Amino acid sequence: MNSGVLSQPTLVLNRSWMAIATTTVRHALGMVFSGSAKVIRPDTYETHNFETWSDMIVEPEEPFIRTVTLRIKVPEVIVLTGYNGVPAQTVTFTRRNLYKRDHNTCQYCGCRPGNGELSIDHVVPRSRGGKSTWTNCVLACVGCNHRKANRLPQEAGMRLLTKPEAPHWTPVLEAPVGRIRQSWERFVSDRYWNTTLEP
């Protein structure tokens, strides 16, 4: 089997056909084989179990997995047969996600000087008890960071452009840039597609 193809992403829908996660092709095929999921043909919305999916003809341009006796089309979307919930997820507080939330923009003056000229500012400075949290950290350019220094924004005569808060995107649907499949558009909301993913 081609390990590169097996590690590619597959979109996972719950029993109500709501997108809830991504997984690898390898895991998706395992779930289909065990009966806990079915493959969806995005163009027709037909569902297939492992037997009917492995019987499908693979077109020359389509990615596939080769076994000793079979050529199996890569499943791009699967639907779970039993689970109907939505996993409770929160976005991890990381530097990458903070840059993503603030759109690589200084939250005091609104400039976008480039990542190298932006830093993370604690609205309430750490020396005054401020924590590294979604609600206390923002991006600031070098000039604004220097101006604010070890003060509260109001003490420095500065105002935040937006109130810092935890992001509202769905982390389970994140996929690396370049690995998002066009066929997912039928199953994932506009909010997901309008979220910019940084490299």
Q: What is the per-residue pLDDT across 178-196, written as a single tens digit (0 to 9) for each?
A: 556 778 877 775 444 444 4
Please check whether residues 105 and 131 belong to one and the same domain: yes
Q: Residue 110's domain spans which residues?
A: 90-168
Residue partners of 85: CB distance under 8 A and separation at least 6: 14, 20
Residue partners of 32: CB distance under 8 A and separation at least 6: 38, 39, 48, 49, 50, 53, 75, 78
pLDDT of residue 193: 46
Residue partners of 146: CB distance under 8 A and separation at least 6: none
Please check whether residues 152 and 115 belong to one and the same domain: yes
Structural domain contains residue 36: yes
Distance CA(174)–CA(182), nearest Å, equals 14
Please check whether residues 74 and 124 belong to one and the same domain: no
pLDDT of residue 94: 87
Please check whether residues 97 and 113 belong to one and the same domain: yes
Structural domain contains residue 100: yes
Structural domain contains residue 31: yes
Q: How many domains, the chain?
A: 2
Structural domain contains residue 198: no
Q: What is the per-residue pLDDT across 73-121, written as a single tens digit (0 to 9) for each?
A: 999 999 999 877 766 667 788 898 899 999 999 999 999 998 889 999 9
pLDDT band at 168 (very low <50, low <70, confident <90, very high): confident
Average pLDDT, the chain: 85
